[in-house]
C-alpha cells in the first residue's frame, strides 16, 4: 500500500485564484452585479475554513479508509486500468453522496453551505462545507476501499474530481458541443443544479460525468427562456460565516427539540423542508405544485 499521494487540490489553488480574477475581469464590463464583494469574500472564507476542517479530520478519514481497505475483497494494483476504474467508481460514489446530500436532512445540513450563495461564479465553487465529517460524507467512498482500491488512489481521484468541479461554476460559458454536454458535467448542467426554480429542483447531482444523472433519471436540461434564481429555496440572506456554516444544524436541533417524540427522528433523515405537521414544503412538493400549474396552464391554453 502506498502511504499517501500528494493532494492535487493543493496544487490547483493558484489556478483557482487566477481563473477567479480572469472571470472577474470578464464580468466587469458585461454584468458587474454578478460578483458581489461580500458574497465572494464569504465563499473564499468558507473555502479556507473547509481546508482547515479537512486538515483537522483528514488523518481520521484516511485512517477509516485504511481500516476499510484491511477488509478488502481483492488487492487492485496501481495499473492504468485501475486508475480509470477508480476514477469512474469514485465519481459514481460522488453522485450517491451528492444525491443523498440533497435528500436527507442530516447530510444536507453540511452540503447546504455550498448552495447558500445567490450568485453563480467561480468563487461559488470554493464555498465548501465545514461539517462534512460530522455529516458522515466519507462513508460513500468506503465501498471503493472494500472492493480493493488503495486509499491513496481513491483520495487522489477524489481530489481530481473536486478540481474538475471548480470551473463549471460559471455563467461565462454557455454550452459545449452536444457530445460533450452528453457525457460531461458542464457549466450549463451545474447551473441547473444550483437553481431554485421549481423545474430545476433536485437534479444534476453529477461530479465529473453527467451520465449518472441520465442513468438514474435525475437529469434536467437548462432551458433558454427562464432566468435562473440561484441559492436555496429559503434564502439565507446572511454573510455571517458562522451562520452560513451552522444554520441548518441549528435548525435541526431546534426542530428535534420541539417535535413530539415519535416525529423527532424524521427531522434527521427525511428530506429538507419536511415537517410532521405539513407546515413546510419539501422540494418534491414545490415541484409538484409547479407541475400542476403548468398542466393547468396548458389545458386552459388548448381549450
Ligand atoms: Zn448540491
Ligand atoms: Zn456547485
Return the closest-CA partner of residue 172 out of 31, 13, 6, 5: 31
Q: Are residues 278 and 168 in the same domain?
A: no
**DSSP per residue, 146-161:** HHT--HHHHHHHHHHH
Q: How many domains is the chain built from?
A: 2
Angle between helical axes of 105-115 and 241-258 (0-180°, round to 10):
160
Tell me what pLDDT residue 2 has: 67
Q: Are residues 13 and 154 in the same domain?
A: yes
pTM of the model: 0.95
Cα of 97 to ligand 2 centre, how many Å?
A: 14
Cα of 64 to ligand 1 centre, how many Å?
A: 25
Tell me what pLDDT residue 75 has: 97
Cα of 16 to ligand 1 centre, how many Å?
A: 20
Q: Are residues 31 and 154 in the same domain?
A: yes
Q: Would you say residue 58 lies in a domain?
A: yes
Q: Are residues 160 and 280 in the same domain?
A: no
Tell me what pLDDT residue 33 has: 86
Q: Are residues 25 and 163 in the same domain?
A: yes
Ligand nearest to C-alpha 169: 2
Tell me what pLDDT residue 4 has: 76
Cα of 98 to ligand 1 centre, how many Å?
A: 6
Q: Would you say residue 141 lies in a domain?
A: yes
Domain endpoint, select from 146, 172, 198: 172
Q: Are residues 166 and 277 in the same domain?
A: no
What is the mean pLDDT for each group of 10 consecutive residues in the chain (303 residues)?
81 94 90 90 96 93 96 96 98 98 98 97 97 95 98 96 97 96 98 97 98 98 95 94 97 97 97 96 95 89 75
Q: Would you say residue 29 lies in a domain?
A: yes
Q: Would you say residue 185 lies in a domain?
A: no
Cα of 202 to ligand 2 centre, how many Å?
A: 13
Cα of 270 to ligand 2 centre, how many Å?
A: 22
Q: Would you say residue 43 lies in a domain?
A: yes
Tell me what pLDDT residue 82 has: 97
Contact 204, 210 (CB under 8 A): yes
Reading the block at residue 158, the C-alpha cell is: 477524489
Q: Would you say residue 138 lies in a domain?
A: yes
Cα of 127 to ligand 1 centre, how many Å?
A: 11
Q: Are residues 292 and 156 in the same domain?
A: no
Q: Are residues 12 and 147 in the same domain?
A: yes
Ligand nearest to C-alpha 107: 1
Domain enclosing residue 121, as ranges: 8-172
* Vertex 158: Cα angle to 93 and 81 (nearest 5): 80
> b/e map of 148-183 (b: 16 or more CB within 10 Å)?
ebbbbbbbbbbbbbbbbbbbbbbbeeeeeeeeebee
Domain endpoint, select from 125, 151, 172: 172
Q: Are residues 31 and 168 in the same domain?
A: yes
Cα of 194 to ligand 2 centre, how many Å?
A: 6
Domain endpoint, select from 139, 172, 205: 172
Tell me what pLDDT residue 152 has: 96
Cα of 264 to ligand 2 centre, how many Å?
A: 30
Tell me what pLDDT residue 1 has: 66
Helix (H) or strand (E) holding 80: helix 80-103
Angle between helical axes of 241-258 and 37-70 (0-180°, round to 10):
60
Question: 185: which residues sit within 8 A by CB, 6+ positions away?
Answer: 164, 165, 168, 204, 206, 207, 208, 209, 210
Amino acid at each position: 500500500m502506498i502511504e499517501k499521494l500528494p493532494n492535487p487540490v493543493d496544487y490547483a489553488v493558484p489556478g483557482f485564484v487566477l481563473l477567479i480574477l480572469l472571470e472577474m475581469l470578464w464580468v466587469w464590463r458585461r454584468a458587474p452585479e454578478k460578483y458581489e464583494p461580500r458574497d465572494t469574500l464569504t465563499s473564499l472564507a468558507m473555502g479556507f475554513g473547509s481546508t482547515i476542517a479537512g486538515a483537522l479530520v483528514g488523518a481520521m478519514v484516511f485512517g477509516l479508509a485504511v481500516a476499510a481497505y484491511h477488509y478488502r475483497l481483492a488487492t487492485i494494483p496501481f495499473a492504468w486500468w485501475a486508475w480509470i476504474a477508480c476514477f469512474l467508481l469514485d465519481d459514481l460514489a460522488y453522485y450517491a453522496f451528492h444525491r443523498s446530500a440533497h435528500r436527507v436532512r442530516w447530510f444536507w445540513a453540511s452540503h447546504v453551505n455550498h448552495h447558500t450563495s445567490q450568485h453563480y461564479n467561480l468563487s461559488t465553487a470554493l464555498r465548501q462545507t465545514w461539517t462534512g465529517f460530522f455529516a458522515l460524507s466519507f462513508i460513500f467512498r468506503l465501498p471503493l476501499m472494500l472492493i480493493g482500491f488503495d486509499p491513496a488512489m481513491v483520495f487522489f481521484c477524489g481530489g481530481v474530481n473536486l478540481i474538475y468541479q471548480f470551473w463549471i461554476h460559471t455563467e461565462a460559458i454557455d454550452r459545449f458541443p452536444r457530445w460533450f454536454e452528453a457525457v460531461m458535467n458542464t457549466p450549463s448542467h451545474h447551473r441547473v443544479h444550483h437553481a431554485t426554480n421549481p423545474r430545476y429542483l433536485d437534479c444534476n447531482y453529477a461530479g465529473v460525468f453527467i451520465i449518472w444523472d441520465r442513468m438514474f433519471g435525475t437529469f434536467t436540461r437548462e432551458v433558454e427562456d427562464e432566468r435562473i434564481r440561484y441559492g436555496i429555496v429559503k434564502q439565507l440572506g446572511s454573510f455571517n460565516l458562522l451562520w452560513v456554516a451552522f444554520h441548518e444544524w441549528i435548525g435541526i436541533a431546534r426542530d428535534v427539540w420541539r417535535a413530539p417524540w415519535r416525529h423527532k427522528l424524521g427531522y434527521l433523515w427525511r428530506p429538507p423542508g419536511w415537517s410532521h405537521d405539513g407546515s413546510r414544503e419539501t422540494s418534491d412538493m414545490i415541484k409538484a405544485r409547479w407541475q400542476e400549474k403548468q398542466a393547468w396552464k396548458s389545458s386552459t391554453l388548448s381549450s
